Amino acid sequence: MGNYLSYVPHSIRPQKRVMIFGLPDSGKTSLLYWLKFGKQVETAPTIGINQEDIVYDTISTVTMDFGICDYISYKDKADVVIYVVGTDKLEDVKPHFHSVVSAAPILILANKQDLVDKSHTHVSTIQALNFWDLECEWKCIPTVISQGIGIGSIRAWVSKHIS
């Protein structure tokens, strides 16, 4: 017997929730707008939450970008999580990263790979954040969100994990 949802068209299924977390200035809102509009949109520091209805393949989602707010009360409602790492020191990222981990699959972006003074590669990010201890499914990829580099891989990963 299949899950009853397999008989319901994607277009009328409940919206899935994609949640984007990360420290300030890491590139979360830029990512949200790349996913929504396919281009770089000028951003300002986010107070609260930005959210957009975004379709991945045929799957409808509300994709949420968490700025300064009480994000902890939301994290367990995520179907998938995207965690953006900017130029912060990885030892500063680590406690924040582990505070948003839930049972949901998580995609970690080692962002701002274009910067000469970037503090991390995606390999050093994997080593520093102890992903091996995670019980949820995870993947880490390098990105340059401001140039749209990695957006295709992000879309493909989200589609695969919410279908």
Query: What mask, x for binding Mg ion by CB under 5 A, covers residues 57 to 96?
Result: ----------x-----------------------------
Q: Where are the alpha helices (DSSP H) in the chain?
A: 28-37, 90-100, 122-128, 151-162
Burial of residue 131, with CB atoms counted within 10 A of its CB: 0-12 exposed, 13-18 middle, 19 or more buried:
middle
Q: Minimum distance from CB of 37 to ligand GTP (Å)?
A: 13
User: Is residue 126 within 8 Å of 102, Cβ to Cβ?
Assistant: no
Residue 111 binds ligand GTP (CB under 6 A): yes
Query: What mask, x for binding ligand GTP by CB under 6 A, covers residues 43 to 62?
Result: x-xx----------------
Q: Minimum distance from CB of 37 to Mg ion (Å)?
A: 15
> How far is the C-alpha of 118 from the C-alpha of 86, rounded, in Å?
8
Q: Minimum distance from CB of 15 to ligand GTP (Å)?
A: 22
Question: How far, rounded to the nearest angstrom, does the alpha carbon of residue 16 sit from its chain's CA centroid?
Answer: 14
Residue 118 CB-half CA count within 13 A: 19
Residue 152 contacts which entry, ligand GTP, Mg ion, none (Cβ below 5-8 A, type-dependent): none
Residue 27 binds ligand GTP (CB under 6 A): yes
Q: How do beta strands 80-85 and 106-110 pair? A: parallel
* Binding interface with ligand GTP (CB under 6 A): 22, 24-30, 43, 45-46, 67, 111-112, 114-115, 144-146
Residues that bind Mg ion (CB under 5 A): 29, 46, 67
